Amino acid sequence: MKAEAAHPHSRVALSDVHKGTLAGAVVVLCWSGFNIVSRFGSTGAFTPFDLAALRYAVSGLIALPLFVWLVRPHEWPRHIVLSLFGGLGYGLLVYSGFKFAPSAHAGVFVNGGIPFWTVIMLAIGTGLHIPRQVLIALLLSTTGLMLIGSESLLAPRAGTEWIGDALFLAAAWAWAVFGLLMRRWQIKPQRAILGIASFSAIAYLPIYLAWLPKTIQQAAWSDLLLQGGYQGVVAALLAAGMYSYANQKIGACQASMMLALVPAVSAIGAYFLLGESISLTVGIGIVVVSAGAALGAQPHKDAARQR
């Protein structure tokens, strides 16, 4: 009892690490299905603009009343900025990328790009100092992601696949900015996600209804329910909220490193659920990226500088 009283903060700090890691694991699971579901929608009955509309319509309908009730108007400008990066910017870029490139490319360039951009921006903010542990973790994660995506990346390329890859990298940059702003402004994760969903819906839906091309009216109800539920609830609210929570509990760099696990978890899930084989190269990539993500998610001595 005395030892616990003498160190009251040690248990709280350990609890924060565990909570942040658990939240990051939830994000990995959510995003592992996101690439497949989004790619399926983008090559089926939906345009990228339709998928974004479903994402923001469903999440906005849920979030807007709660946001107006919980958040005071003088706090809204920061939420608008967050919605530009973590809402509209990320969503439109990644959905557009799926129109040009396969989901395996998104696994490499989005999930590998987020920790890359996060580390680069943190390095600039700390005087170009990158801890050795972070560099090793980033190198391992990048190598593993390239191995996992090698079969797709080295396949005969369509003339427009590079456009999708560039859009995925831009989406990763937008999400990294969102994560760093969340960390800097210390906005409560649940309020941040409510704001992103609300302002994204307000800004996007009128433009979508008035001018953007749409094929949503041709979609089956089953497809609408799948995309609307996954994009609007799982991706826009649950995954984004858990990432924001992990970001504040374990740090932007550590939280972003965990996202490198998404392609590995997707490949393992496809093996057990869909019977898709895992080649030796992909298997090695899963081991390497897991080692990099595990190393990157560990606190390091310079973590306080990020905070």
Res 13: pLDDT: 46
Query: Given this model, what pLDDT does residue 170 score?
Result: 95
Q: Are 209 and 13 in contact (CB under 8 A)?
A: no
Q: What is the pTM of this model?
A: 0.81
Phi and psi at 191, nearest 5°, equal -75, -35
- Residue 305's alpha-carbon distances to 186, 260, 293, in angstroms, are 15, 23, 20
Instruction: Tell me what the mean pLDDT of segment 152-172 comes to.
Output: 82
Mean pLDDT calculated for residue range 70-75: 93
> What's the rounded mean pLDDT across residues 104-126?
83
Contact present, 146 and 288 (Cβ < 8 Å): no
Q: Which two tokens stand for residue 149?
A: 């995506």
pLDDT tens for residues 230-278?
999 999 999 999 999 998 888 888 888 888 888 888 778 777 766 767 8
Angle between helices 161-185 and 240-250 (to 10 degrees): 50
Backbone phi and psi for residue 32, each to the nearest 5 degrees, phi listed first: -65, -35
**Residue 14: Cβ within 10 Å count:** 10
Give Cα separations from 304 to 14, 66, 139, 242, 252 (angstroms): 15, 33, 22, 22, 11
Q: Which of 37-41, 69-73, 115-119 has the lowest mean pLDDT?
A: 37-41
Q: Residue 73 gets which letter from DSSP?
A: G
Alpha-carbon distance values, 229 to 66, 151, 239, 274 (Å): 19, 31, 13, 21
Give the three-class secondary structure for 117: helix
Helices and strands (DSSP H and E) totals, the chain = 16, 0
Residue with tokens 């490499």: 108
**Is residue 192 over pLDDT 50?**
yes
